[in-house]
Structure 1
Amino acid sequence: MYMAYSNTNSTHTPHRSASTSKGMTFNSSYTKAIVRFVLLAVILGTVFSFGAMVQAYAGDGAATAKTPVSVNSINSSPKAVVQDQVVIQRGDTLWDVASTHKKGNENIRSYVDKLKTINHLTTSSLEEGQVLLLP
């Protein structure tokens, strides 16, 4: 590029012609908008992909429910049966407990025998605070 100088004292500085820079510069507002869009797309992509990974690895618990369980172990295990209990107070006897808790017209002597069998009693004596299971 050739520049001509003159002897005049002017403050005019030489500049390039407009034809050389035409189409080469971007407006700064467009550049900022594009950078913001790309940054927003990267952030959203990261957030959504992280959420998808968490959901994929967390699962909903269905995998543990589908694990095979031996049928024999379920059928042969003893089932917990909630039985009524009575705590023996001072002066209680097996006869008193049997007469209070027997069903309808059941014989008291047979109920005393059931109490002894269930609670593994060898005698009819009871102690204060002892817990008896009721048949």
Structure 2
Amino acid sequence: MYMAYSNTNTTHAPHRSASTSKGMTFNSSYTKAIVRFILLAVILGTVFSFGAMVQAYAGDGAANATTPVSVKPINITPKAVVQDQVVIQRGDTLWDIASTHKKSGENVRSYMYKLKTINHLTTSSLKEGQVLLLP
């Protein structure tokens, strides 16, 4: 009978590799790739849903783009308001000015009140050379 001897130490159990363990284990590079993919999908989904919400609230962009709109420039010129003025002469009174320039049928006292209001007068006294705006 023939027996073979070896110099190896047989007291240690053979090594088990990770691929022979129970369940599935992933390499760390695969795990990083999956996390990056999920993160990218979440970001893109957020961006596209935000764009859809903006378009929904802004209205239909296609309808606005195809509708012809004519734009005409508007010439707005400021209109100068010309008010009648009276330059106060020596001896003029507010009563005289009101009775001279009031409309027919209008009360002299109400016209005097308008004169005071427009010209920011607190009293009925006038000075020579003073300019009053007429209502």
Instruction: Give the TM-score, by structure 1 length.
Output: 0.43
Instruction: Give the TM-score, by structure 2 length.
Output: 0.43
